[in-house]
Structure 1
Amino acid sequence: MNKQITSVQNPLIKSLLLLQEKAKARKKSGNFIIEGKREIELALKGNYTLEQILVCTDMFEDHLFIKKINDVETIEISKEVYSKLAYRDTTEGIIAVAKCKNHALIDLKLPKNPLILVMENIEKPGNIGAMLRTCDAAKVDAVILANTKTDLYNPNVVRSSVGCLFTNQIAVASNEDVIAFLNQNKIKFYSATLQNSNSYHVENYTKPTALVVGTEATGLTQIWRTQAYQNINIPMQGVIDSMNVSVAAAILIFEAKRQRDFKP
């Protein structure tokens, strides 16, 4: 580590702060920030390309880890600079700058009998991150963000997914393109909505399946409600008529996994 940065006014640090704060800056540069050793390890396993590593040597002591990352510029930064860049409350002392991926539908590699989660119009980064964690836990074959309102590389998505942004196959596309893709690949999609729906547990998800969830405030848009193979709901027994979208997605996903893994 020959290069050192000790000032938060350094032009590189200012540009990295913009990557943290502005989706426009991430889109323009094609880069985003990863914080933490585990997340960086998962990004490398997910074939992400690292541009730079920034290390606060007063805080990060795993020098062997740094040596394992070949051909990546490594910069030593001060505690002051690190605390300015760090997004999480718990600090580890290491940050990476990585290249964003394309996330095209055509790049998805699906097995013969895929299970897919489709998220439409999800606004809260924390919900996207939570669903990516569930999809990793259930080994869902792909995640598709349809008409997304949130940048996939928003630091809150990266943080809340605890690295599962890098462990899932992810595509981003319009509603129309996603529906065309599902139909072309003969994948039945089940839309989570109250309108014209059956209870989720009576449906059969053992064939190629996509589960579609929308925002808590407005639910799925009409195109998903009218073109679904079947609309499904999670029966509510309390006063409210909806639940957090990440919780709903987990219930649906693990019911599908239960059906697929069940051996009578």
Structure 2
Amino acid sequence: MIKEISSTQNPTVKQLVALQEKSRIRRKTGEFLIEGVREINLALDAGFQLTQLLFCSAIADAEELAALQSKLSAEVTQIEVTEEVYKKIAYRSGTEGIIASAKAKKNTLSALDLPKNPLIMVAEAPEKPGNIGALLRTADAAGVDAFILANPRTDLYNPNIIRSSVGGLFTVPVATGSTQEVIDFLKQKNIAIYTAILQEAISYEKQDFTTASALVVGTEADGLSEAWRAAAKQNIIIPMQGRLDSMNVSVAAAILIFEARRQRGFTL
């Protein structure tokens, strides 16, 4: 049975807007919003549990909506909303008229199911959702075995992360933890740590990444904390020809991770 909501003052609408706008509400309820057909389908493929599906018939493509509805369990509440209500809830402009609420995962380190010879991307304390989204897109493109956020400063289910990752949040195994927890986890798994640090470093092209490896990047402003320097097997740098001494963290991560993939036999 499909419910209908036409008022922006409806309590359900207010709750959904709060989920979209406030990380505190997302943490309290354990839910978040997913906007867009592709992103919702990716979340379903990744085993995320949807709780509600909202759609605006005036905007949504009928065939795409029907295909998505056919995948839903009976427990998912379906709500048809007016265009006014949809625009009130939507984070993005120009989306397909479909939004879902879903239960967040715990994203613990212990939940990661790693292969025998893993390649892992680690980012310490990235703050900008756009950078995290770009890192997730890179992680997906390179097919890394896990993406780990150490000391995250931003809610993983921030709508801008979902938007900027183009659904990459759902296609890559993701975990979070404190810097020390991540270091301890990697050491326990016998995964070598390679840090993007200028001091006592070698060019990334000279480092062998064919064994179990974690490539670690920090923020452009602060770099990596001292704990990583002590834990690293080797510091690595990307030689640069210009006058600046840093580049965007997602660009740096992409260069490093694709070099590791090349060494492991990645071909187009």
TM-score above 0.5, yes or no: yes
Kept in 2: contact 1:123–1:148 (CA 8 A): yes
Q: Give the aligned residue type for 1:28.
A: K
Structure 2: state its 5+ residue gaps.
none
Residue 75 (structure 1) shift: 0.1
Q: Identity percentage over the alignment? A: 58
Partner of 1:139: 143
Q: CA RMSD, aligned part only?
A: 1.2
Partner of 1:110: 114
Of 70, 73, 76 in structure 2, the residue corresponding to residue 70 of structure 1 is 73
Kept in 2: contact 1:4–1:75 (CA 8 A): yes
Partner of 1:215: 219
Give distance in 2, aligned partners of 1:2 and 1:259. 52
Question: Residues 12-51 of structure 1 correspond to what in structure 2 (within 5 A)?
Answer: 12-51=12-51
Give distance in 2, aligned partners of 1:199 and 1:67. 51
Residue 262 (structure 1) shift: 6.1
Residue 89 (structure 1) shift: 2.2
Give distance in 1, aligned partners of 2:130 and 2:26. 18
**CA offsets, 1:179-219, max 9 Å, x none?**
01111110001010112211111100000000001111111
Q: Does 206-215 or 192-201 show the bigger shift?
A: 192-201
Question: Residues 65-214 of structure 1 correspond to what in structure 2 (within 5 A)?
Answer: 65=67, 66-71=69-74, 72-214=76-218
Kept in 1: contact 2:2–2:77 (CA 8 A): no
Give distance in 2, aligned partners of 1:67 and 1:142. 30
Q: Give the aligned residue type for 1:67.
A: S
**Where in structure 1 do 4 or more consecutive aligned residues deviate above 3 Å?**
none
Give distance in 2, aligned partners of 1:135 and 1:43. 16
**CA offsets, 1:112-159, max 9 Å, x none?**
100000110000111111111111111100011100101100000010
Kept in 2: contact 1:197–1:232 (CA 8 A): yes
Residue aligned with 2:264, SS = helix
Kept in 2: contact 1:195–1:225 (CA 8 A): no
Kept in 1: contact 2:36–2:97 (CA 8 A): yes
Give distance in 1, aligned partners of 2:261 and 2:139. 11
**CA offsets, 1:215-260, max 9 Å, x none?**
1111111111222011111111101100000000000000000000
Structure 1: state its 5+ residue gaps.
none
Give distance in 1, aligned partners of 2:23 and 2:229. 30
Give distance in 2, aligned partners of 1:119 and 1:181. 15
Residue aligned with 1:206, SS = coil
Residue aligned with 1:68, SS = coil
Kept in 1: contact 2:121–2:148 (CA 8 A): yes
Partner of 2:11: 11
Of 236, 241, 244 in structure 1, the residue corresponding to residue 240 of structure 2 is 236
Q: Give the aligned residue type for 2:109.
A: L
Q: Give the aligned residue type for 2:265.
A: D
**CA offsets, 1:154-187, max 9 Å, x none?**
0000101111100110111111111011111100
Give distance in 1, aligned partners of 2:172 and 2:19. 22
Q: Give the aligned residue type for 2:254.
A: A
Q: Give the aligned residue type for 1:16.
A: L
Aligned length: 263
Q: Give the aligned residue type for 2:72.
A: I
